């Protein structure tokens, strides 16, 4: 049960589950799905992830897949719309595409061309910021569409992997740095 004075970091530590050796040996994965499953936890992280950007955005963008949870809830909470940024081949209409580097290869993110109009102010939400590759790709998608990136909100920032530095010049808000 949450305490009235519980910080968002304490809430995340209490509700998330650390899974050792996942997805590979030597990696400790912080599973946020129990936070999303808890009504108080979900409400709290959504409120806190969008608060620094209040009034500065027209639409919330969620990155596949856990970013969808945050973006849908954030859009509902703020009375804005929500758009999805998906992996290649998942969207049925004409898309903007952006490749980005992975440790061993590349991947592609896509955005429907007609989901946002030029001039739209976009808040990008995702669960984790690591190297900044995925979020950086989303930033480029929206800028190519003529949008302004109002900010980037994440639940967890994996410090030391260069993500924040890669996104220099953008407002980045992380609820917890690990």
Sheet holding 121-129, edge to edge: 95-102, 105-112, 81-87, 59-63, 121-129, 148-157, 172-177
pLDDT band at 149, cuts 50/70/90? very high
3.40.630.10, 2.40.50.100, 3.40.50.2020, 3.40.630.30: CATH of 54-177: 3.40.50.2020
Residues classed as catalytic: 66, 103
pLDDT for 2 equals: 53
Q: What is the mean pLDDT of residues 10-15?
A: 97
pLDDT digits (tens, 9 = 90+) for 100-127: 987 677 899 999 999 999 999 999 999 9
pLDDT for 105 equals: 78
Q: What is the mean pLDDT of residues 158-166?
A: 94
pLDDT digits (tens, 9 = 90+) for 16-61: 999 999 988 988 899 999 999 999 999 999 999 999 999 999 999 9
The structural domains of the chain, with segments of one domain joined by +, span 54-177
């Amino acid at each position: 049960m949450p305490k009235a004075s519980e910080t968002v970091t304490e809430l995340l530590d209490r509700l998330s589950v650390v899974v050792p050796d996942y997805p590979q040996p030597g990696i400790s994965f912080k599973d946020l799905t129990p936070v999303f499953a808890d009504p108080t936890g979900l409400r709290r992280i959504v409120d806190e992830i969008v608060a620094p950007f209040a009034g500065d955005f027209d639409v919330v963008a969620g990155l596949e897949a856990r970013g969808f949870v945050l973006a849908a809830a954030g859009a509902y909470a703020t009375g804005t719309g929500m758009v999805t940024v998906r992996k290649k081949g998942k969207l049925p209409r004409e898309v903007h595409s952006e490749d980005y580097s992975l440790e061993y290869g590349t991947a592609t993110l896509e955005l429907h061309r007609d989901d946002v109009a030029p001039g739209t102010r976009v808040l990008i939400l995702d669960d984790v910021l690591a190297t900044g590759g995925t979020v950086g790709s989303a930033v480029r998608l929206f800028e190519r569409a003529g949008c302004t990136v109002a900010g980037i909100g994440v639940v967890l920032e994996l410090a030391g992997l260069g993500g924040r530095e890669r996104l220099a010049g953008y407002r980045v808000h992380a609820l917890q740095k690990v």
